[in-house]
A and B are shown apart, each in its own frame.
Chain A
């Protein structure tokens, strides 16, 4: 193999490495994009749900009849306002913790892989 062939082979190998890296990096880019969107969505949805659950008080205006209904002796709107705004927020918050931890893990994995592949490309 002459020098020119050797250089060509080396260039091919380099191209293959570059393509693999690009493929891997594409996958990572997609993973990162998904994780980013999921993080924004989880935060936004949780915030909206928490705001709604803790501000359910105006339901009285929509359903005034709830004030005449009784749950465990209390007017239904009063009882529901407290139960939804406090006791039911707890499992929602727990769910948020679990989901957001998973999203954080995805962010950590995908971005550290991307960082590794960038370092690999540089070296």
Chain B
């Protein structure tokens, strides 16, 4: 089987381009893939615009424009939720992360899934009963106009961080696949998504997000099945998430460290308890606060329907996540195998984002190899669409209602059109100078969401004591802390709160989210808690009650115990992490890269090499690069 695989890989390898000087592989689409990719993209874009235009006919009121008439639920909403959540960073980035960080990524990805489920359990039922369009509107009615304005500012900040990463990805896809320059690709992709979201509103967005989820699933699943079949994984290939079990022994032979949960290829991100808890706070809790995720629950016709959408969404999200794992596994195997004495693909980390397309081109026919291009664009556009709709609703409905409280419904819809379009144009402008790494800005968006919306939403729903002063202070503290840390590369008053690599930024959530939570509780208690009976009655109502009881959801013990826990996490996050500190102190130490690729090497030598990398992960600095593809 292995010999067959090598022969096959060798057969396809000449079709791929190599940079002459560096010896590193540089992806170059074949003519067939490029032509078919353009065809799929043009057809897909035409379809999205058509759906957006068709949806415009259904928009007559603001409920239609901002919440799809509250008639979009079930499996369709589940699909829309999943494509809304899974961005270009998921579709292309996860394969790259698996390739770079291996098993380690499982820890991150499971947190994404956990956060998605938690939204449906902790927030969605109450938010849906409140019956508005956005979480900012909930904050406005629960905590007052000032809190709403601060929430909208936080939303714009996090949406822009999220959007820049996505826009950059869309621009990159156009650049690499169709040889357009980055700016042209960005403008085309950005304008298309802005157009269909602006014209079709939430109806257009919902139908398109459902379509995009289906496109993403097909574009990922079909190549994954073919790739695994060609690798010799057998019938299990037809369910890629668990389709590569039979290839595991080959992987152990080629790269014994692949399934070591404590080891990444370059050992730059140590897996410590602090890092793992930081991941939970930033990713899982960040998902709870993402306004474009919460927004999908407002379209559901009923509470039960909203919960069922979460169930479907969880299934689809998992299907995509773990199919990217399968492709990442295959790509890893492909890149470290020895092919007739010649080393396998050597891929620069910066090229890793294209691994899905690389693998499809190497192992599938042209008409399938071009599918991931369409899938990647669909993934980027679905998330961009969701975020633009959030911006449009936040400014067009939430802020406009403050400026003109008695504005007629058609004016609100008009404002929705204007602000959605302006949001899209502004993002295109900002993405002209994007961050270097696709995931960096998205990671910070999660940190901002966790530090602003999550504490205020959870406490606003589940604790009657939370009041406007607490909410405003919490939003401000969380927002400012995350902005300062983002701007200052994770340093606050000389104290570094991050760990190495872009993923290390996630650790900041361990400080910022508890800080915001603690602020909401302390300031609310210090200012006497919530006194307005109208609001207190509303809290009972959003939990399904017809009657009012001041004791319900009013436990200060709950608030104080969680605040104490938050204080503990803040102190912990400020304390040095021994594993990371050791690495910092010996950053200059360079350990020679082990020859993990040499499968002919004696098992003892491989074990020694792996041990060396393991040691490097724990005790040495970031200067150590034990990249299997590096000569």
Contacts and interface: CB of A to CB of B under 8 A. Distances in A.
Contacts of B318: 86-87
A108 B546 contact: yes
Given A86-B113, A93-B121, 8 more contacts: A50-B117, A55-B276, A72-B236, A81-B110, A82-B242, A104-B125, A108-B544, A111-B546
Interface majority SS on A: helix, strand, loop or mixed? helix
Query: 3 tightest CB-CB pairs across the interface, nearest first?
Result: A73-B245, A54-B114, A86-B318
B261 A51 contact: no
Contacts of A74: 242, 245, 248, 259
Interface residues of A, number: 45
B593 interface: no
B196 interface: no
Interface in A16-72: 32, 36, 39, 43, 46-47, 50-51, 53-58, 60, 67, 70, 72
B314 interface: yes
Contact of A100 (B262, B307, B325): B307
A36 to B, nearest CB: 6
B303 interface: yes
Q: Range of interface residues on chain B?
A: 35 or more
Given A47-B118, A55-B280, A104-B303, A89 B106 contact: no
Residue from B110, B260, B303, B310 with most neighbouring chain A CB atoms (10 Å): B110
Contacts of A53: 114
A51 B122 CA distance: 12
Contacts of B107: 57
A58 B106 CA distance: 11
B545 A93 contact: no
B311 A94 contact: yes
Interface of B: 103, 106-107, 110-111, 113-114, 117-118, 120-122, 125, 236, 241-242, 244-249, 259-262, 273, 276, 280, 284, 303-304, 307-308, 310-311, 314-315, 318, 321-322, 325, 543-547, 549, 552
Contact of B311 (A36, A77, A90): A90
B543 A39 contact: yes
Residue from A46, A47, A77, A82 with most neighbouring chain B CB atoms (10 Å): A82
B259 A55 contact: no
A97 to B, nearest CB: 5
Contact of B110 (A55, A72, A73, A94): A55
Contacts of B241: 82, 86
B261 A67 contact: yes
Given A39-B543, A89-B314, A108-B546, A57 B121 contact: no
A46 B547 CA distance: 26
Residue from A96, A111, A112 with most neighbouring chain B CB atoms (10 Å): A111
10 contacts: A47-B122, A50-B117, A51-B280, A57-B110, A72-B236, A73-B248, A78-B103, A90-B311, A107-B545, A114-B546
Given A47-B118, A67-B261, A114 B547 contact: yes
Given A57-B276, A100-B307, A46 B114 contact: no
Contacts of B260: 67
A88 B260 CA distance: 24
A90 B546 CA distance: 31
A73 B307 contact: no
A95 B201 CA distance: 34
Interface of A: 32, 36, 39, 43, 46-47, 50-51, 53-58, 60, 67, 70, 72-75, 77-79, 81-82, 85-87, 89-90, 93-94, 96-97, 100-101, 104, 107-108, 111-112, 114-115, 118
A81 B259 CA distance: 12
Given A47-B118, A74-B245, A104-B303, A54 B311 contact: no
Nearest to A82: B322
Residue from B106, B247, B318, B547 with most neighbouring chain A CB atoms (10 Å): B547
Nearest to A67: B259
Contacts of B546: 108, 111-112, 114-115
B117 A60 contact: no
B303 A89 contact: no
Contacts of A67: 259-261
B614 to A, nearest CB: 13
A46 to B, nearest CB: 5
B134 to A, nearest CB: 22
Nearest to A56: B110
B547 A51 contact: no
A97 B113 contact: no
Contact of A115 (B276, B321, B547): B547
B41 to A, nearest CB: 31
Residue from B236, B242, B304, B321 with most neighbouring chain A CB atoms (10 Å): B242
Contacts of A50: 114, 117-118, 121
Contacts of A78: 103, 106, 259, 261
